[in-house]
Structure 1
């Protein structure tokens, strides 16, 4: 017997050694020149990491030597974690259509060693919902602690004393390092546009087992940041067989939202082509699909499609919805407004194409050098305004339908002494 019990915390070990020495809390406090309250708080676990000098005084008062003293001091230095902080928020429904992305991100964090992932894309594409599913997979599969920090999209909330473009210190991140230490932890920073600064480097330096998952509309340019663009959900191909069309991710999500409102819903076979067309027109954007599902209580899919095709931004949030309220225009306006002149000119040019296009086709008529055009298309992909299109003859892309509509609307607005827009290149593209 060496006086070392199977204690799991410093408080338990302190109580064991005190009782083994035959001392009351008051006697130990007197011998160690401490208050009895300090001894009581340490035994109760209210002091998670006592000062080194306090631990030395207590060990001397207990008469600990050799290995028991070493174990006592090492246990005092070990961080005790509060279990209530380890689980992410509870999701409000099953994730649909993002199963492969969720598994890939989970593997990247837990098996492949990625420490900083940024999930970027258009507002309403489902970044937060995917991050929540990944957090739960990490928590349940490998038992990591999860710290979820909702930073929000801080438009108009900048510190007037801070130079433009310089991220400030977010006080909500203070104390995170103290909760992580050497324990494997996933920190999710949801809505981190412009809200993360040098404190993240400090967290990584202090939390050796820390992983960070960020959701933002655009990459943050952080050291070691691995950017993962999130495209809208897959939509049925034009002319797809009805059964196959119903299996696409966008259609499955739309029908799931419709059945939440109408649990007894029986889909009329005649509605299948209209539902597929509605999902294509809405680009497979999860928020747009939820909005559309809410209005199917009043309109058939066919009449809803006719209405929004005539006025694309007349689809506000229905009175009952779980997702962020607003309308389809807000996210598109914000994304377009953040573009540089070079990016906006190319987006306008590409939006004129009646169908999808390849990079070679865009390059042939874009009037730009290959490196510049490739870089700009890449930037538009990261912002979610351009999406990949499945093709058997190489990579092809398309501007989102809603983004096309906004470009057409702006082109039809009265000119305000701007340079002439580039000529449409639709005739040069393959039909």
Structure 2
């Protein structure tokens, strides 16, 4: 399989000047008026650049905009090169990013998900897969991966229609400002849920796709409410259509490619000092305790915290919030004695406060036998288990236990473990923290 470059290694050729300016502006939360004030460039000029009406601005204009956006050397160079190239040429029929609907803009950088994103992007871009469902426990980072994949596909010429389910929780991104595409996106979501009028929608999507394809993202969708027959019609009538879903359960349609998203890699110290989970935790640490120095002792404590919390991003985010009231050694001690206490975000963050509830709901949807295995593993108190342990604890045949473990992986309540070098799995700390009674209450 050919792997597309990671976001850090992507070349600027795939991004139009207008998309770069707009993306940088939204990423730091500026309006066009605010950018105009900071750069001394008129609002109209910035608007024309973002819409692609002005493709070759003067060098001084680009410099002033880069100054207003506070761009670093690499981003500044990409902006200057895009301005020098002007309109995307070559006669290939591709449209610039400013000419078609764009995905929302994430509020935080991607950390430790480059490999997963590259696979999703390449499979959708090439058409190897036309429907990918990203699965994982709540808070594991499904939406962030979808945002990055959608951004890269948009830069490659795909119009992106992004729909977020109403009850999916707080959004960690800035929604795209495109009213016409918002209406079309809602119509597509309604169509796949079995409602709305079907006449004309495939034709409009095919027209928007042109020769480059089109990506529809359903973020936080309840796959049980989707209509497989409508999906078949959409894929048949719009050859360039690609669908990317983030969900807690598979859709279970024949063309679906399940993409299991595990928590960030978090080896036990000292191996975990530079792991993705540690880098993620450090990015949040700087927001709450910039005075803490990332020295050898601190990195060891952070690696231990990340390992104990299984690298689960939302759990790490909640744990980092506790540094407003304690230091790293104290936090490390709490993780060792009672990690469940750290799953509540001290600021009352809505997404963090729903972590227990959503994990409990996931456990509650599992078959009774799967729940009994989780309870037995919790009571055994072992950090890791293998297929042999599942057979021993359940008394069921190996093939049956293999299917159970696969189901638990798909649901996101366990993750593969590489600590011992053998084929093993870990029940996530988020799940272990829920007693059977708590899980039942949360699922009710």
User: TM bucket by the smaller chain?
Assistant: 0.5 to 0.7
1:18-97 to structure 2, matched below 5 A, reads 85-97=100-112
| Structure-2 residue corresponding to 1:189 | 218
Which range moved further: 272-281 or 128-137?
272-281
Q: Pick one of 269, 273, 294 that aligns with 2:296.
A: 269
| Structure-1 residue corresponding to 2:323 | 296
CA contact (8 A) 2:319 2:342 kept: no
| Structure-1 residue corresponding to 2:314 | 287
| Structure-2 residue corresponding to 1:381 | 409
Alignment partners' CA distance in 1, 2:371 and 2:358: 16
CA contact (8 A) 1:149 1:190 kept: yes
Closer, same or farther: CA 170–274 of 1 in aligned 2, 3 Å: farther
CA contact (8 A) 1:151 1:190 kept: yes
| Residue 194 (structure 2) pairs with residue 169 (structure 1) | yes
Alignment partners' CA distance in 2, 1:287 and 1:377: 23
Q: Pick one of 242, 257, 263 that aligns with 1:211.
A: 242
Q: Pick one of 106, 112, 118 that aligns with 2:133.
A: 118
How far off is 1:408 after superposition?
6.5
How far off is 1:344 after superposition?
0.7
Alignment partners' CA distance in 1, 2:115 and 2:152: 13
| Residue 159 (structure 2) pairs with residue 131 (structure 1) | no
| Residue 368 (structure 2) pairs with residue 341 (structure 1) | yes
Closer, same or farther: CA 257–175 of 1 in aligned 2, 3 Å: farther
Per-residue CA distance 1:114-165 (angstroms, 9 max, x = gap): 101010110000000110011111111x21111111124479xxxxxxxxxx
Aligned with 1:122: secondary structure? coil
How far off is 1:380 after superposition?
0.4
How far off is 1:246 after superposition?
2.0
CA contact (8 A) 2:343 2:352 kept: no
Alignment partners' CA distance in 1, 2:129 and 2:112: 24
Alignment partners' CA distance in 2, 1:219 and 1:204: 18
Unaligned runs of 5+ in 1: 1-79, 156-166, 414-431
Q: Which has the higher Rg, Structure 1 or Structure 2?
A: 1
Closer, same or farther: CA 408–93 of 1 in aligned 2, 3 Å: same
| Structure-2 residue corresponding to 1:158 | none
Aligned with 2:285: secondary structure? helix
Aligned with 1:299: secondary structure? coil
Alignment partners' CA distance in 1, 2:436 and 2:307: 18
Aligned with 1:119: secondary structure? strand
How far off is 1:113 after superposition?
1.6
Query: Is the helix fraction higher in 1 or 2?
Result: 2
Alignment partners' CA distance in 2, 1:173 and 1:185: 18
Alignment partners' CA distance in 2, 1:268 and 1:327: 33
CA contact (8 A) 1:275 1:302 kept: no
Q: CA RMSD in A?
A: 3.2
| Residue 350 (structure 2) pairs with residue 319 (structure 1) | no
Per-residue CA distance 1:39-60 (angstroms, 9 max, x = gap): xxxxxxxxxxxxxxxxxxxxxx
Alignment partners' CA distance in 1, 2:384 and 2:197: 43
Aligned with 1:254: secondary structure? helix
| Structure-1 residue corresponding to 2:356 | 329
How far off is 1:81 after superposition?
12
Closer, same or farther: CA 81–136 of 1 in aligned 2, 3 Å: closer
Unaligned runs of 5+ in 2: 1-94, 170-191
Closer, same or farther: CA 103–221 of 1 in aligned 2, 3 Å: same
Alignment partners' CA distance in 2, 1:251 and 1:408: 30
| Structure-2 residue corresponding to 1:227 | 258
How far off is 1:211 after superposition?
0.7
Aligned with 2:294: secondary structure? coil
Alignment partners' CA distance in 2, 1:311 and 1:99: 28
Alignment partners' CA distance in 2, 1:172 and 1:256: 46
Closer, same or farther: CA 173–347 of 1 in aligned 2, 3 Å: farther
How far off is 1:266 after superposition?
1.9
Alignment partners' CA distance in 2, 1:267 and 1:311: 22
Alignment partners' CA distance in 2, 1:304 and 1:283: 15
TM-score scaled by structure 2? 0.64
CA contact (8 A) 1:147 1:187 kept: yes
How far off is 1:112 after superposition?
5.4
| Structure-2 residue corresponding to 1:146 | 160
**Pairs aligned (count):** 318
